[in-house]
Amino acid sequence: MDFRDSTEDAAFRQEVKDFLRTDLPADLKADDDVILGVGVGENPRDKDWLKTLSKRGWVAPNWPVAYGGAGLSVMQQFIFNEEMARAAAPRPNFLAIGLAGPTIIVHGDEAQKKQHLSGILSGEDYWCQGFSEPGSGSDLASLQTKATQDGDDFIINGQKIWTSGAHRADRMMLLARTDPDQPKHKGISYFLLDMKTPGISIRPLTNMADTPSFNEVFFDNVRVPKGDLLGEANRGWYYATTTLDFERSGIISGVALQRLVTDTIGYAKQSPRTDGAWSAIRHELAERYIETEISIALSYRVASMQAKGMVPNQEASITKLFGSELAQRIAKTGIKVAGLFGQLREGSQHAALGGRFEGWYRIAVGSTLAGGTSEIQRGVIAQRGLALPRG
Ligand SMILES: Cc1cc2nc3c(=O)[nH]c(=O)nc-3n(C[C@H](O)[C@H](O)[C@H](O)COP(=O)(O)OP(=O)(O)OC[C@H]3O[C@@H](n4cnc5c(N)ncnc54)[C@H](O)[C@@H]3O)c2cc1C
C-alpha cells in the first residue's frame, strides 16, 4: 500500500493536528492506562472534553452522520485515531461510543436508537459490557446467566465478572441465555439493561494496577422490559460478534505505544545508565522502536483493507496479538532503562517519569487477556490464516 496521505487526507490530518494543538488542555493528556481502556471514565473532566470534541462532530467520528457521527472515510477515521493517540488525547466513554453505540446503530430498532444514542454522544450515559462470566471468557458462548420470559418482560438471574466500569455505568450490554435447549451459540439474547433496575448488585474487584476498574455483577430476579431486547431473541450471539469486532479493532494503538517508547528514549538520553547496562539497553530501545513501527504498519494494513471494503480477520488478530505483547515488552524495557528507580511508584520523589514505567508494567498485563487472549488470537491466525487443522 501507499503510506502517503492523499491530498484530501493530508488536509484532514492537519485539521485534526491544529484542533488538538489549540483545544486539548495540556493537563488533560490521557494516562497510559486509558490507552488500554482500563479506568476509562474515571476523570470528572471527560464530559468537558466530549463537549469540545462535539463542537467539531468528532465525539463518534466513525458513526454515520444521521446518528451524530462525522461521516469520515475509513482512512480519515484511522488518521483521526492516530493523531488523537499521538497527542495523548483521552477517548472517554469508549465502551459506550466505541461498542454500545455502533452495535445499536447496526442492530437496534428506531426507538432504541432514539433512546440511547444522544445520551452516549453527550457523555451522559456510561455503558459497561456484561459478557464474561466465571468459566465463560474465551468460551463466551457457554455463558449461563439466564433470561426467562415473563409476559412482556424477561427475568434475569446469574452473574458476570471482569465487568469494567460497572460501578459507574448507567446501562449494560448484557448477554443472557434465553433458550437452554438450543446449541450454545443459538440460545443467547442481547439486552440493553438499565443498571438501576432492582436486583442488580455490584462487587468491586481490585486489579493488580490498583485501578478502579473491574467488578462482579450479580442478577437476582432482575426484570427487564421487552423493549430492551436488542434485535430478536436467541440471535444475541450474532449481535455480540458485532460488538466484539468493534472492541478488537480499538484496543491497542501502535502510535500510543510509539509515544511511550519515544518518552522512554527521552528519559534514557537524560539519565543514561552508568552501571555497564547501557550498551544492552541501547539495543533494546532500538528493538522496541522498530517493533512500534511494525505495529503501526500492521494497523495500516487493517485500515487499508477496511477502506477497500474487505473484512480483516486474522489480520486484526495479528495486529492485536503483536500490539498487546509489545505493550508488555515496552514495560519491561522501561523498567530496565530506569534501573531501580523504574520500580518506584507514582508519588515517590525518586520515581522515574513519575512512576510511569512501574504503572505501565502492571497495567500492560491485562492487554494480552482483554478482547481475546493471545492464545485465542494465535488459534485464529493458525486456523483461519494458515489453514492449520484444529488442535
Ligand atoms: C483489562 C480487562 C478488561 C476486561 N473488561 C471486560 C468487560 O468489560 N466485560 C467483559 O465481559 N469482560 C471483560 N474482560 C474479560 C475478558 O474478556 C476475559 O478475561 C477474556 O476473554 C479471557 O477469559 P477468562 O478470563 O475467562 O480466561 P479463560 O478463557 O478461562 O482462559 C484461561 C487461559 O486459558 C487459555 N485458553 C482458553 N481457551 C483456550 C483455547 N481454546 N486454546 C488455547 N488456550 C485457551 C487462555 O488463553 C488463558 O490463558 C476484561 C479483561 C481484562 C484483562
CA of 129 to the centre of ligand 1 (A): 14
Beta-sheet strands, E only, within 152-310: 153-160, 171-177, 188-194, 200-205, 214-225
Residue 284 inside a domain? The answer is yes
Ligand 1 pocket mutation pick from 217, 373, 375, 376 by most atoms within 8 angstroms of CB: 373
CA of 328 to the centre of ligand 1 (A): 17
For this structure, is 293 an active site residue? no
Say if residues 355 and 348 touch (Cβ distance below 8 Å): yes
Say which CATH number the domain at 132 has.
Answer: 2.40.110.10
Ligand 1 pocket mutation pick from 33, 99, 132, 244 by most atoms within 8 angstroms of CB: 132
Residue 114 inside a domain? The answer is no
Q: Which atom of ligand 1 is nearest to the CA of 136?
A: 26
- Read off the C-alpha cell for 65: 452522520
Q: Let me know whether 45 and 163 are in one domain.
A: no
> Given 72, 92, 112, which residue is the final one in a domain?
92
Q: Let me know whether 186 and 261 are in one domain.
A: no
Say if residues 329 and 338 touch (Cβ distance below 8 Å): no
Residue-level pLDDT at 206:
87
Q: How many domains does the chain have?
A: 3
Q: Which atom of ligand 1 is nearest to the CA of 366?
A: 53
Residue-level pLDDT at 250:
63
What residues does ligand 1 touch, defined as CB less than 6 Å away?
Answer: 38, 128-129, 131-132, 137-138, 162-164, 366, 369-370, 373, 375-376, 379
Residue-level pLDDT at 252:
67
Ligand 1 pocket mutation pick from 126, 127, 138, 324 by most atoms within 8 angstroms of CB: 138
Cβ burial 362-373 (10 Å sphere, 16+ → b, else e): bbbebbbebbbe
Say which CATH number the domain at 274 has.
Answer: 1.20.140.10
Report the DSSP beta bridge partners of residue 188.
177
Residue 337 inside a domain? The answer is yes
CA nearest ligand 1 atom 17, residue: 370
CA of 372 to the centre of ligand 1 (A): 6
CA of 7 to the centre of ligand 1 (A): 42
pTM over 0.85: yes
Residue 344 inside a domain? The answer is yes
Say which CATH number the domain at 44 has.
Answer: 1.10.540.10
- Parent domain of 29: 7-92
Residue-level pLDDT at 46:
78
Nearest to 361 by CA among 371, 353, 350, 373: 353
pLDDT in tens, the chain (391 residues): 678 899 999 999 999 999 999 999 988 877 554 445 544 556 777 788 888 999 899 999 889 999 999 988 888 988 998 999 889 888 888 899 989 999 999 999 999 999 999 999 988 899 999 999 999 999 999 999 999 999 999 999 999 999 999 998 999 999 999 999 999 999 999 999 999 999 999 999 988 887 778 899 999 999 999 999 999 999 999 999 999 888 876 666 888 899 989 999 999 999 877 888 888 999 999 999 999 999 999 998 988 888 888 888 899 899 999 999 999 999 999 999 988 888 999 889 998 888 888 888 988 898 899 889 999 999 999 999 999 998 7
Beta-sheet strands, E only, within 89-137: 127-130
Query: Exactly one of 82, 83, 133, 247 is catalytic; which is it?
Result: 247
Q: Let me know whether 217 and 274 are in one domain.
A: no
Q: Which atom of ligand 1 is nearest to the CA of 135?
A: 26
CA of 369 to the centre of ligand 1 (A): 5
> Given 201, 234, 267, which residue is the final one in a domain?
234
Q: Which atom of ligand 1 is nearest to the CA of 166?
A: 8
How many whole angstroms separate alpha carbon 381 and alpha carbon 300?
A: 18
Residue-level pLDDT at 171:
98
